[in-house]
């Protein structure tokens, strides 16, 4: 994908969404049950779409919530259901739909109260942590949760994901049940969806408000050495990118005595303050140097700075030593630091990574004598290992990560952008070097890989062809001038299908898979032999995919 000439520049007036029109479309448009593109579809992070093309509407969310209520009853999940929402324009309407349907099904819904600095928004990791805290020690009446967010997707998008009582993203077995039932309900015109009007629902015994924010903040010292950060007197900066955690940082700073400056406190469903991403679109991707250009320009004003996406499950670390870190680089640094600075962690703890994350992680893990658990893309694959405290850390190449509490107990089972950012401050406070400097030390020891992801537009049919391929599609014995050492269609960590293929050589690899949330397919590639070798890997990968989907 060619770099857009306006990448990194301010948003253009004409690309800002019409919020009133989008919300009207959400409540007015009805999906066509005969069109697969308009069906409920749970990808790697729940159901996503936009009202503008009838892929995320009131009818979708009502059907999903009815299906979820029926699933909870079948599974005898009788505790409260915590609901969080981010700052996308469609999140509030979807919250209303969820409250109306779930309360009519006698589900006890708990939402964030809006009369404090949270403004009624709740980050993904806070919902996960709240579920974990509530269920710890219980034997029945377990809680679960919903997060209404399309993550870093453009302002016009909406998203809805379910977190069962384990606190993390629902696995494919669960989402398939909900998806099939929701689509059956839509096909019947949602006539079997129970619903109350909002005023009646809010006055019922089934809807209550609570404050998830302060309990989460008070627990942060259990997972990050907040005293070390405070003692170091670091000057820290953050750009919440208008996300759900925008009101959290001031309380974190006050609670732990930290010097944190929020450089952009705005919440705007148009996200008009954003810089344009590499393709010229507005996308709140804290791992993109183009979207994060505003904070990067301020890097020299802080000892360390960071940003987060709208639901705060991702992180972007900005260091004075080198600007915005590549997510893969920071994951390697975080792993190298944590497994040497958590004395209460057992030596048996494994390291979790996705199959398309950097092989630098493999080299770091091997040097520490730890075991690697390599999984398919999707954080749901890490939930069990985090719940059982078998994984000390789990991370993915798209700037998502989480780790155990300092005593080795489970913190949460979904990505947590807060603690990944605060860990960067801990690393600087404890070692005197920022994460960028630590990564440079790793490259001196293990080599400096070149990594790139290429996104290509794809239809549903093309994505289906790509996800169905097996190892037999690779007939060559060499790749980019090196002998092929491995062809994988299943992840070694759990033998689950990766929905694509990964081909490896001694000094490089590529992986190709369809996106679970967007109409694109992705090619990932990495080389320890330099940029030219990397481009050769990508070229051969593109040729292979072209043959498969033609």
Tokens representing 211 are 């404050």
The DSSP result for 132-155, as a single string, is: HHHHTT-SSS--EEEEE--TTS-T
Tokens representing 33 are 């049950």
Longest Cα pair distance anywhere in the chain, in angstroms? 68
Which of 507, 452, 512, 510 lies closest to 483 in space, CA to CA? 507
Cα–chain center distance at 182: 24
User: Nearest 10 degrees: CA dihedral of 195, 198, 203, 204?
Assistant: 20
CA atoms of 549 and 521, how far apart (whole Å): 11
Question: Element (H or E) spanning 497, and its range?
Answer: strand 497-504
Pairing mode, strands 42-43 and 235-239: unpaired
430 CB-near residues (< 8 Å, 6+ apart):
225, 228, 341
In this structure, is the dihedral angle defined by the CA atoms of residues 334, 336, 342 and 347, taken in order, positive or negative? positive
Residue 358 designated active-site: no
> What 8-state DSSP symbol labels residue 275?
B
Tokens representing 403 are 């780790």
Pairing mode, strands 508-514 and 497-504: antiparallel
CA atoms of 471 and 486, how far apart (whole Å): 10
Which position among 45, 118, 128, 151 bears the catalytic label?
151
262 CB-near residues (< 8 Å, 6+ apart):
238, 239, 240, 246, 249, 250
Exposed e or buried b per residue across 266-281, where buried means at least 16 C-beta atoms within 10 angstroms of its C-beta: ebebbbbbbbbbbebb
Catalytic residues: 151
């Amino acid at each position: 994908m060619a770099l857009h000439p306006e990448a990194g520049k301010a948003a253009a007036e004409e690309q800002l969404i019409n919020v009133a029109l989008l919300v009207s479309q959400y409540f007015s448009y009805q999906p066509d049950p005969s069109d697969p593109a308009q069906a409920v579809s749970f990808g790697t992070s729940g159901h996503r779409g936009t009202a503008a093309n009838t892929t995320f509407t009131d009818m979708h969310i009502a059907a999903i919530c009815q299906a979820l209520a029926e699933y909870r009853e079948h599974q005898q999940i009788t505790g409260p259901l915590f609901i969080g929402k981010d700052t996308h324009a469609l999140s509030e309407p979807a919250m209303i739909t969820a409250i109306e349907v779930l309360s009519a099904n006698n589900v006890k819904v708990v939402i964030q109260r809006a009369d404090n600095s949270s403004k009624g928004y709740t980050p993904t990791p806070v919902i996960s942590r709240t579920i974990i805290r509530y269920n710890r020690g219980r034997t029945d009446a377990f809680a679960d949760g919903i997060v209404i967010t399309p993550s870093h997707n453009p302002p016009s998008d909406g998203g809805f994901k379910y977190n069962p009582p384990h606190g993390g993203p629902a696995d494919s077995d669960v989402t398939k049940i909900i998806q099939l039932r929701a689509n059956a309900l839509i096909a019947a015109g949602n006539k079997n969806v129970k619903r109350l009007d909002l005023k009646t629902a809010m006055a019922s015994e089934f809807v209550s408000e609570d404050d998830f924010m302060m309990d989460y903040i008070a627990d942060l010292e259990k997972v990050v050495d907040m005293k070390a950060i405070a003692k170091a007197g670091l000057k820290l900066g953050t750009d919440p990118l208008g996300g759900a955690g925008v009101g959290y940082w001031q309380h974190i700073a006050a609670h732990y005595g930290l010097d944190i400056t929020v450089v952009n406190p705005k919440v705007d469903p148009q996200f008009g303050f954003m810089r344009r991403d590499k393709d010229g679109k507005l996308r709140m991707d804290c791992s993109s140097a183009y979207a994060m250009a505003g904070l990067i320009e301020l890097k020299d004003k802080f000892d360390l700075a960071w940003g987060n996406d709208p639901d705060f499950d991702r992180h972007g670390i900005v260091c004075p030593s080198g600007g915005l870190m590549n997510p893969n680089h920071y994951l390697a640094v975080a792993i190298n630091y944590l497994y040497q600075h958590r004395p209460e962690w057992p030596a048996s703890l494994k390291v979790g990574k996705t199959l398309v994350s950097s092989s630098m992680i493999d080299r770091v893990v091997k040097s520490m004598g730890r075991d690697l658990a390599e999984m398919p893309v999707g954080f749901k694959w890490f939930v069990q290992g985090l719940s059982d405290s078998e994984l000390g850390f789990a991370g993915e190449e798209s700037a998502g990560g989480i780790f155990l509490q300092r005593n080795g107990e489970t913190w949460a089972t979904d990505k947590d952008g807060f603690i990944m950012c605060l860990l960067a401050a801990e690393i600087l406070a404890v070692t005197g070097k920022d994460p960028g400097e630590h990564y440079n030390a790793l490259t001196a020891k293990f080599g400096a890989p070149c990594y790139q992801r290429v996104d290509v537009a794809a239809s549903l049919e093309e994505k289906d062809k790509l996800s169905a391929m097996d190892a037999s599609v690779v007939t060559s014995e060499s790749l980019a001038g090196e002998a092929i050492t491995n062809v994988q269609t299943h992840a070694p960590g759990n033998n689950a299908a990766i929905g694509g293929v990964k081909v490896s050589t001694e000094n490089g690899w590529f992986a190709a898979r369809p996106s679970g949330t967007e109409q694109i397919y992705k090619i990932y590639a990495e080389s320890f032999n330099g940029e030219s070798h990397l481009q050769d890997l990508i070229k051969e990968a593109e040729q292979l995919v072209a043959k498969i989907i033609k």
